[in-house]
Chains A and B, each alone.
Chain A
Amino acid sequence: SAVISQKPSRDICQRGTSLTIQCQVDSQVTMMFWYRQQPGQSLTLIATANQGSEATYESGFVIDKFPISRPNLTFSTLTVSNMSPEDSSIYLCSVTSGSSEQYFGPGTRLTVT
């Protein structure tokens, strides 16, 4: 299985600011994904981070609000832009390797005040 780390683990941010979350994997992986988990809710896929090209966003999520980078096969960032209290969530990075098993990072717990 892949070992995934995320930074920061948690943050408290002010409305209107932006936060960039980093996801680092200990091995090269095929696919990287970003999920959001709002308080008391299930996980929702934000986008698939593609290496060398633009991310593929799910319905309801846009690049201006959640820009994503993936410069190589082990690293990706998600930025939450112009934050509002509704963005308070846990943001999780996940990866798949050739076996199609999907593993998740420890998450970034974001609170927007």
Chain B
Amino acid sequence: AQKVTQAQTEISVVEKEDVTLDCVYETRDTTYYLFWYKQPPSGELVFLIRRNSFDEQNEISGRYSWNFQKSTSSFNFTITASQVVDSAVYFCAIQGAQKLVFGQGTRLTINP
């Protein structure tokens, strides 16, 4: 069975600080995908990134960056120079054959 652990339930930082959201996963599959989604207060789920298990290259997209380390089964997400609009619940998820399994989410609050 697959499992995703987001140990940080809530994080609160001041605007412009950098913040890292942790994600640790468990799987027996050799091929899998890792995802990050953002859920703002409005409730919709916004796709941020998908990473193939064979691609351990880190990725940067603007202020967002992701660090995938297979050795530690982690897929951490960093927001640089955080903004109030980044306030949301962030979910990490893993997908094997078809099913997407979510972590419990991290509620991120960016204070002005």
- Measuring CB to CB, which residues of chain A are less than 8 angstroms from any residue of chain B? 1, 31, 33, 41-45, 48, 58, 90, 92, 94, 96, 100-107, 109
Which of B91, B101, B102, B103 has the most C-beta atoms of chain A within 10 angstroms of its own C-beta?
B102
A107 to B89, CA, bound (A): 15
How many A-B residue pairs lie within 8 Å, measured between CB atoms? 45
Could you tell me which residues of chain B, from 14 to 65, have a CB within 8 Å of some CB in chain A? 33, 35, 37, 43-45, 47, 50
A90 near B98 with CB under 8 A, answer: no
B98 near A107 with CB under 8 A, answer: no
A42 to B43, CA, bound (A): 12
Which of B43, B98, B99, B103 is A106 in contact with, Cβ under 8 Å? B43
Which of A44, A96, A101, A104 is B44 in contact with, Cβ under 8 Å? A104
Contact code string B67-108 (vs A, CB < 8 Å = 1, else 0): 000000000000000000000000100010011111111000
A48 near B47 with CB under 8 A, answer: no
B43 near A101 with CB under 8 A, answer: no
A103 to chain B, nearest CB (A): 6
Residues from chain A with a CB closer than 8 A to the CB of B37 are 104
B47 near A1 with CB under 8 A, answer: yes
A107 near B91 with CB under 8 A, answer: no
B42 to chain A, nearest CB (A): 8
A92 to B42, CA, bound (A): 13
Nearest A residue to B44 via CB reads: A106
B69 to chain A, nearest CB (A): 22
